[in-house]
Structure 1
Amino acid sequence: MRTIRLRHAADFAEWRDAARTLLLGGVAPHEVDWRQSEEGLFGEEAPPPPVAPSPRVPPSFLELARAVICHGDPARHELLYRMIARLQVEPHLLSDAMDRDVVAARRLEKAVRRDAHKMTAFVRFRETPAPEGARRRFVAWFEPEHHIVARTAPFFARRFADMDWMILTPRGSASLTGETLRTSEEPAPKPDLSDPTDALWLTYYRNIFNPARLKVKAMMAEMPKKYWANLPEAALIPELIAGAPARVAAMAEQILREAPAFHARLQARAPVEPELPSQGLAGLREQARNCTRCPLHCQATQTVFGEGPDQAKLMIVGEQPGDQEDLQGRPFVGPAGQVFDDAMRAAGLDRSAAYVTNAVKHFKYELRGKRRIHQSPDAGEVEHCRWWLNQEIQLIQPRLVVAMGRTAVAALTGQTPKLADLRGRVHALDPGRAMIATVHPSYLLRLPDAAARGRETARFHEDLAAARDWLSAAG
């Protein structure tokens, strides 16, 4: 039996060097007694390792081992050494989610990561006196379950780089002085901490507490009681929970009161949904000329509305106008429009018989010199324009809608799935109406590789041909 005495509780490099020497020496996992001690690395003199290649393990094991080594379980060193020995003959060991050693290691890893997360969430610094002209100084006390101080210290160094601080725990300490980060495994005594700003923090916490959204079980899961002793706001929690029902009732009582006078003026300034014009599509197009539902109208030259027959079986929906569309006031007349026209002809579809429009009616761009560079509309802008698109659909009553690009799919369905998951199939949009999703023609123009552009263009033609076949079958 070999006794290995490790000087540090959570030093991955120390354990790795010992495990490598043992493995190269042919020492089986059951022949090693791992212990933590200050008496040196090995309990007895280790023979020089034999001339052999270093053991190989996947990078995922190293990441796993760095976390597991921080756990407080005394058997963690034995577990990791057993796994590294098995990996030499079972290279795919980590992919076996049901293996006993893998399950045990993942459990320890999860506990360490959770403990580190709780440390980043529940450390509370208190300011201490600092010499005049020096950086502000802060001290915190925390009680982790595992040896995570050194693992978590870099987070605090990045987050609080503008001050000097020290975090003390029963499992070691970490400190930042200037740009120097230091850690130690020496247990630290609990300091007597007080901060005059605690009262201000409690006042803030009491006022941001929302009793109407109180979920005690969820709160206890995120903030277990074992952390309460070092959280100043924890003293308020029982009182706030007990008083929540009464506060909710008081909030409901306030709802019945008459709103202040200025609320009416604010409501009057809010955008009002325009009414559907009685003149049909022509009236809707005229109404859209003055659309100010979102800020995009401020920079665009004009509204680019859809065009086509009032009663079309096929509707084409793109993303938004481009530079040429914005200047001419018509959809799909620029470079992407030429690709679209070619594809329509190749599929045997007549553009003049289809209604062609966009999900967003104004051109969104970034000015670079004299060029206007296209920018994708965000979710809010798409949502604002959905009203116009929905009215177009209600008036046109198409049998089939071809959505070109993710923005068009989002405007039609209110969802943002991956385009690849929808492409190549017909989807029900409304009762009696279907949708086919494909790429936007501008995507084809952006492909740098000619071969890839050719393949994707052929697929685009196939998607439009599928729309033609569906319309033919539907009659």
Structure 2
Amino acid sequence: MTGRVTLPRTGTEAAWRRAARGFLSAGVPPEDLRWTDATAPQGLFDNEADVPDGAREIRVPRAFAAMSNAVIWHNDADRFDRLYAFLWRLQREPGLMRDRGDVQLAHLRRMEKAVHRCKHKMKAFVRFREISAPQEGRRQFAAWFEPTHHTVEFTATFFARRFADMDWRIYTPDVSAIFEDGRLRFALDVPRPELPGDASEDLWVTYFRNIFNPARLKVQAMQSEMPKKYWHNMPEAASIPELIAEAPARARAMAAAAPTLPPVRTARVQEVARAQAPDHWSGPREGFAAALSGCARCPLHRGATQAVPGAGPETAALMIVGEQPGDLEDLQGRPFVGPAGQLLDAALADAGVPRAEVYLTNAVKHFKYVTRGKRRIHQRPNTSEIDHCRWWLEAELARVRPTVVLALGATAAQALTGEGAGILQRRGATERGRHGGAVMISLHPAHILRVPVPAEQVRLRRALTDDLAAAFATCRGADARIGR
């Protein structure tokens, strides 16, 4: 015969845990019990079950303890039966809490979420009114609230911590929370009191009306966060229908009153937009540099001092492309002026290549770095940044029209050929670039500087010198053939 287990309306959580532990220790299956609270009517054949002593230790996952602590306060009359049935299964299936496909667990999780949502609404929408004069010692406040679930006891400890220096009462149609002299208690079925007016409500309503932004009004979203069932107990909610009705006219008035003059930066934004058109830059070099200085095609412009354009004669037969500006390049606005640039200058001299006859630039025009103390440490650009900046490199290629492009390192090789891997194996080879011209692959001077073994560093520097000499000789030979 099924036994009835009646739980009290307050202290429900502790009572359910004690009863569930006792029945589980005694091996009573879920189908032999009918769980109710004190408001449920007595059935004709109901026999109140005696709760056995919970002699056996019951272990449950922490996730179940947290879930049951919320589900107990749901308004579903079957909540206790569902919890006990799941707890019964959990003793035989220890991993059940991790089974996302379990129907019973999914239902309990939805109940848990609903209770936590109700708890959040209670914290947000309880509106206290002062019910005592300040000279009476501890100030006293009261509120009327209508929760969806039985969340007063579940939430009352929050208010006790938050408002510990005053006495307060939260009345509801079911259980009311009363906090007096630092002690919290609960009362049942207290009639709704007549609460006095509160002078501070007018100030609060005025504030609410003034922060209401008609241009950002989304009625459905607002009602999702502030359900209409709570409105009649919130003083500011009386203004909401009027504010909604006036919103379109107020939004039009705000737009009409907005400044009509464009901001000072509009001209620069328009210049940048023109510079980022699909076709390559066709204006003079000075215009190209100005447009590049306003580049915002990728996030790198936010941290850099400035964009660094290429430098050298626009009739150069040899273009050398590095990775990106370094710390000194970022500060001075010129390419290859730092330690890597000094090594490149020495290699150019050893190869017999006049720097004045070479166009020097980088695949990425802004310095990418991380800050460590007072130092800015170089970071390699990613594929997205390389692709965004390739527009400027292609514009330089179209303007200079070099015979040979020497790609220094993986980033330059990726920007020019679409492939940045295997630089050591490809070094010295000539490939066809995306722009249709010849691209020779070599090593970046910064990579050579980072090599810790002196003998290896000498070998790599010699390789760079050889590549520079070969590229320059190719340009000279081509110039002689085409009469450049």
Using structure 1 for the length normalisation, give the TM-score: 0.58
Residue 88 of structure 2 is aligned to residue 81 of structure 1: no
Q: CA deviation at 1:36?
A: 2.7
1:72 equivalent in structure 2: 75
Alignment CA distance shift 1:313-1:296 (3 Å): closer
Contact 2:73 2:150 in 1 (8 A): yes
Which runs of 5 or more structure 1 residues have no equivalent in the other structure?
335-351, 367-371, 378-384, 404-423, 425-431, 434-440, 442-475
2:118 equivalent in structure 1: 115
SS at match of 2:188: coil
1:170 equivalent in structure 2: 173
2:429 equivalent in structure 1: none
1:355 equivalent in structure 2: 362
Quick one: distance in 1 between partners of 2:327 and 2:201? Answer: 55
1:2 equivalent in structure 2: 3
Alignment CA distance shift 1:280-1:270 (3 Å): closer
Contact 2:3 2:33 in 1 (8 A): yes
When the two chains are superposed, the root-mean-square deviation of aligned CA atoms in Å is 5.3
Counterpart residue identity of residue 211, structure 1: P
Quick one: distance in 2 between partners of 1:132 and 1:55? Answer: 53
Quick one: distance in 2 between partners of 1:56 and 1:252? Answer: 63
SS at match of 2:58: coil
Quick one: distance in 2 between partners of 1:149 and 1:314? Answer: 69
Residue 184 of structure 2 is aligned to residue 182 of structure 1: yes
Quick one: distance in 1 between partners of 2:197 and 2:145? Answer: 15
Alignment CA distance shift 1:216-1:47 (3 Å): closer
Q: CA deviation at 1:224?
A: 2.1
Residue 214 of structure 2 is aligned to residue 207 of structure 1: no
SS at match of 2:245: helix
Counterpart residue identity of residue 33, structure 2: V
Quick one: distance in 2 between partners of 1:29 and 1:332? Answer: 80
1:12 equivalent in structure 2: 13
SS at match of 1:132: helix
Residue 39 of structure 2 is aligned to residue 32 of structure 1: no
Q: CA deviation at 1:231?
A: 1.1
Which runs of 5 or more structure 2 residues have no equivalent in the other structure?
40-46, 276-282, 295-299, 340-358, 380-384, 398-404, 412-420, 422-433, 436-445, 447-484
2:61 equivalent in structure 1: 58
222, 226, 229: which one aligns with 1:223: 226
Q: CA deviation at 1:37?
A: 4.0
Q: CA deviation at 1:135?
A: 5.6
Counterpart residue identity of residue 155, structure 2: T
Deviation digits for residues 181-235 of structure 1, max 9, x if unmatched? 6242534432314211222222222233233333222222222221111011222
Counterpart residue identity of residue 33, structure 1: R
Alignment CA distance shift 1:47-1:205 (3 Å): closer
Residue 151 of structure 2 is aligned to residue 148 of structure 1: yes
1:340 equivalent in structure 2: none
SS at match of 2:60: coil
Contact 2:306 2:333 in 1 (8 A): no
2:430 equivalent in structure 1: none
Contact 1:68 1:112 in 2 (8 A): yes
Contact 1:115 1:146 in 2 (8 A): yes
Alignment CA distance shift 1:86-1:390 (3 Å): same
Deviation digits for residues 330-363 of structure 1, max 9, x if unmatched? 99989xxxxxxxxxxxxxxxxx998376855798
Quick one: distance in 1 between partners of 2:303 and 2:179? Answer: 48
Quick one: distance in 1 between partners of 2:396 and 2:224? Answer: 53
Counterpart residue identity of residue 97, structure 2: L
Contact 1:307 1:330 in 2 (8 A): yes
Contact 1:8 1:36 in 2 (8 A): yes
Quick one: distance in 1 between partners of 2:225 and 2:171? Answer: 22
SS at match of 1:138: strand
Contact 1:19 1:81 in 2 (8 A): yes
Quick one: distance in 2 between partners of 1:144 and 1:194? Answer: 22
Alignment CA distance shift 1:313-1:106 (3 Å): farther
Deviation digits for residues 378-397 of structure 1, max 9, x if unmatched? xxxxxxx99x9688656556
SS at match of 2:66: helix
Alignment CA distance shift 1:376-1:287 (3 Å): closer
Quick one: distance in 2 between partners of 1:251 and 1:394? Answer: 45
Counterpart residue identity of residue 145, structure 1: T
2:427 equivalent in structure 1: none
Q: CA deviation at 1:245?
A: 3.3
Q: CA deviation at 1:112?
A: 0.8
Counterpart residue identity of residue 7, structure 1: P
Quick one: distance in 2 between partners of 1:135 and 1:165? Answer: 10
SS at match of 1:197: helix
Quick one: distance in 2 between partners of 1:316 and 1:142? Answer: 65
2:440 equivalent in structure 1: none
Quick one: distance in 2 between partners of 1:225 and 1:90? Answer: 42
Quick one: distance in 2 between partners of 1:401 and 1:218? Answer: 52
Deviation digits for residues 313-346 of structure 1, max 9, x if unmatched? 976469x959x99899999989xxxxxxxxxxxx
Q: CA deviation at 1:84?
A: 0.5
117, 126, 130: which one aligns with 2:129: 126
1:100 equivalent in structure 2: 103
Name the larger-Rg structure: 2
Counterpart residue identity of residue 223, structure 1: M
Name the % identity.
Answer: 36
Counterpart residue identity of residue 142, structure 2: V
Quick one: distance in 2 between partners of 1:280 and 1:16? Answer: 79
Counterpart residue identity of residue 21, structure 1: G
SS at match of 1:88: helix
